[in-house]
């Protein structure tokens, strides 16, 4: 078996202005780097745009999935650092959606020299409510969530996995498969869900040392307003921008507004 490079492992794609300031976009729990397709054309004009899939998602190398490494968000953060190092990036604008916003915080703590700015879209450092803290979910909610994820394997089948994962450049193979952007091995999806929804990274927020933008949507069940305020308060010097967009994925539902907010920050 040939060794897998970081670029192969994380299905890294670089586009845009190579000499521009690098922007690394990290997708959250659920789908893959396709989540950014509506916002990146704007940034490609004057930035070097880096997209990747977390290991276990999209077209990443499933054989690189290590249950122990990915049993905490630090494992994912380490991958982000490796990607930036392999590409020789610096002064990176890290745009993290949902759980990846927190992964960005951890990556910046692991390798502060790489990062120049952080954009956190719909961040939530702890989903489970705690004494004096509202994360938006009870433990029972999370248990129910994990159960309903188990009910949706989204067209995954072990026999098709090699076809789906092994041929990222031949989309026609997967076209006939439903829900192609969000499928993955159910066991990996389950563990990613557990790590996403059962982590507590509140203590990491005060350590952020780069300019940070918090993008908060309206009516976001996954990252309620109170959580956005909490993150804004805890990340030193952060900017909080409230979007008109509703839901959890403004980069899809309101790409222009999202882009404009990021540009205004940068």
Partner 1 sequence: MGIDTGPPIDPRGQLNRLLDEDPADLYENAPCGYVSTLPDGTVVKVNRTFCAWTGRPASEVLGGRFQDLLDIGGRVFHETHLMPLLRMQGAVREIALDVLRVDGSVLPCLLSAVEVRDDDGAAVLVRATLFEATARRRYERELLAAQRAAEASEARARALHGVVSDLAAAISVDDVAAVIVQRSREALRAAGAALVLVEPPRAGTGVDLPGLTLIRSEGVPPPLVDRLRRAAGEQPARGVRSLLLDDRLRAERPAIAAELAAAGFTGLVVVPVAADTRRLGVLIVGIGDVPGGLISLEEPGSRQAIPAADVDLMSTLGRQAGQALERAALHEATARQAERAGFLLDAARLLAAAADVRETVERMAELAVPRLADLCVVDLVTEQGMKRVAARHGDPVRQPLADRLREVQLPPGGTAHPSMQAVLEGRTRWVRDLDDRLLGEITTDPRHVETVRALELGGVISVPFVADGRVLGVVTLCADRRREPFTAADVEVAEQLALQVALVVAKAQRYELDVRTSHTLQANLLPAPPPPVPGLATAVRYLPATHGVDVGGDFYDVVRLPGGQLALVVGDVVGHDITAAATMGQLASVHRALLVDAPAPSAVIDRLQASWPVLGLQRMATALFATLDPATGRLRIASAGHLPPLLLDGGRAEFLPVQPSRMLGAPPAPSPAAEWTGVLPTGATLVLFTDGLVESRTKDLDVGLDRLLAVAASSGSADPDALCDRLLAELTGPHRADDIALLALTRLG
Catalytic, 220? Answer yes
Catalytic, 130? Answer no
| Distance separating alpha carbons of residues 266 and 260, to the nearest angstrom | 10
72-131 binders of partner 1 (CB under 8 A): 72, 98, 126, 128
Annotated catalytic residue, options 48, 60, 98, 199: 98
Minimum separation from the CB atom of position 173 to partner 1 (A): 15
65 binds partner 1 (CB under 8 A): no
Q: Which of 265, 216, 255, 189 is nearest to 37 (CA)?
A: 255
| Sign of the CA dihedral with 243 first, then 246, 247, and 249 last | negative
Are the C-beta atoms of residues 118 and 104 closer than 8 Å to each other?
Answer: yes
| Distance separating alpha carbons of residues 152 and 27, to the nearest angstrom | 20
227 binds partner 1 (CB under 8 A): no
Stretch that binds partner 1, among 17-25, 42-50, 77-85, 132-140 (CB under 8 A): 132-140
Counting residues that bind partner 1 (by CB under 8 A) gives 50
Are the C-beta atoms of residues 29 and 98 closer than 8 Å to each other?
Answer: yes
194 binds partner 1 (CB under 8 A): yes
Which of 51, 195, 205, 262 is close enough to bind partner 1 by CB under 8 A? 195
44 binds partner 1 (CB under 8 A): no
Q: Give CB contacts under 8 A, 24+ apart, made by 65-73.
A: 65/185, 65/188, 67/191, 70/188, 70/191, 70/192, 70/195, 71/191, 71/195, 72/195, 72/199, 73/99, 73/102, 73/103, 73/106, 73/195, 73/196, 73/199, 73/201
Q: Nearer Cβ to partner 1, position 88 or 151? A: 151
- Token duo for residue 69: 């490494």
Stretch that binds partner 1, among 1-9, 42-50, 79-87, 178-186 (CB under 8 A): 178-186
Q: Nearer Cβ to partner 1, position 91 or 219? A: 219
Known catalytic residues are 98, 220, 248
Q: Which residues here bind partner 1, judged by CB under 8 A?
A: 28-31, 34-35, 37-38, 71-72, 98, 126, 128, 137, 139-152, 154-155, 178-182, 194-195, 198-200, 219-222, 246-249, 252-253
């Amino acid at each position: 078996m040939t060794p897998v490079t970081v670029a192969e492992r994380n299905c890294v794609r670089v586009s845009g202005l190579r000499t521009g300031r690098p922007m690394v976009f990290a997708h959250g729990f659920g789908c893959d780097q396709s989540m950014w397709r509506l916002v990146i054309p704007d940034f490609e004009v004057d930035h070097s745009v880096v997209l990747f899939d977390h290991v276990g998602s999209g077209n990443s190398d499933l054989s690189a999935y290590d249950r122990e490494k990915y049993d905490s968000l630090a494992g994912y953060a380490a991958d982000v650092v490796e990607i930036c190092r392999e590409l020789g990036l610096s002064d990176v604008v890290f745009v993290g959606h949902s759980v990846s916003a927190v992964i960005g915080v951890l990556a910046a703590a692991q390798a502060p020299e790489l990062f120049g700015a952080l954009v956190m879209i719909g961040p939530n450092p702890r989903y489970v409510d705690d004494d004096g803290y509202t994360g938006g979910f009870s433990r029972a909610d999370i248990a129910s969530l994990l159960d309903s994820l188990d009910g949706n394997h989204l067209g995954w089948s072990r026999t098709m996995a090699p076809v789906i994962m092994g041929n990222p450049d031949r989309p026609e193979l997967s076209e006939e498969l439903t829900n192609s952007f969000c499928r993955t091995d159910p066991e990996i999806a389950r563990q990613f869900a557990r790590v996403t929804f059962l982590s507590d990274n509140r203590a990491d927020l005060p350590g952020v040392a780069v300019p940070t933008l918090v993008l908060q949507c309206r009516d976001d069940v996954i990252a309620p307003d109170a959580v956005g305020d909490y993150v804004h308060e805890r990340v030193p010097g952060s900017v909080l921008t409230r979007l008109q967009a509703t839901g959890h994925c403004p980069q899809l539902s309101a790409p222009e507004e999202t882009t404009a907010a990021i540009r205004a920050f940068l």
